[in-house]
Amino acid sequence: MRINKYLSAKGVCSRREADRLLEAGRITVDGAVAECGQQVDDNNIICIDGSKISNDKPEDILIAFNKPVGIVCTTTNKQGNNNIVDYINYPIRIYPIGRLDKDSQGLILLTNEGDLVNKIMRSRNQHEKEYIVKVDKVVNQQFIDHMKNGVEILGAVTKPCKAYQTGPKEFDIILTQGLNRQIRRMCEKLGYNVTSLTRIRIINIKLGDLQPGKIRKINEKELEDLKKMLEHSE
């Protein structure tokens, strides 16, 4: 099995994250630095940063985390407690599903289930993510209409989305794509600067009253509903 798929199946990290670790030279197989695409199995000794990966798959974990501003979601660049995994310090190895930029806050999911990551992350599956956004100027209907219909950023027009005003300088937006700093770039294109960005929902999982810096396990009903929504995902 290819090493990135193997690590995902073992609940160590997503395939994408495994590729980043491989490129950084942080994975070894039987004492030698691993290569992208390398074939491995349970007979190999695989280490990340010198720590051996267990052949046993732990229980499936899915947690919600209210990420504070200042915490980074990548696990390849170690930045002390500013790194999301080190900040949470969960007893079982978990990793974030997607990202939320350093200057933003709110809901992010973490898991050790590689298949779950792949299903949620595939953009063609059109999974919704909802945000509350505050900006530096009064919002008007023209602005909301532009956000809903698409804004040209990064050489392309964003997909149509849902958006509505929730305050003089605040709006709610629901996206089904996740371009780099998408909401901030969209606002800047229209002459607005984001002063606060909070993700409040991913598919059916809501932030609710979870406090910044805190985690909670996804309950059985949430997990059941999530898996039903994902069952047709490729």
- Residues identified as active-site: 101
Closest to 39 measured CA to CA, from 2, 8, 4, 7: 2
Distances (CA, A) of 128 to 23, 200, 228: 31, 11, 15
Backbone angles phi, psi at 169, to 5 degrees: -125, 35
In SS3 terms, 84-138 reads as HHHHHCCCCCCEECCCCCCCCEEEEEEECCHHHHHHHHCHHHCCCEEEEEEECCC
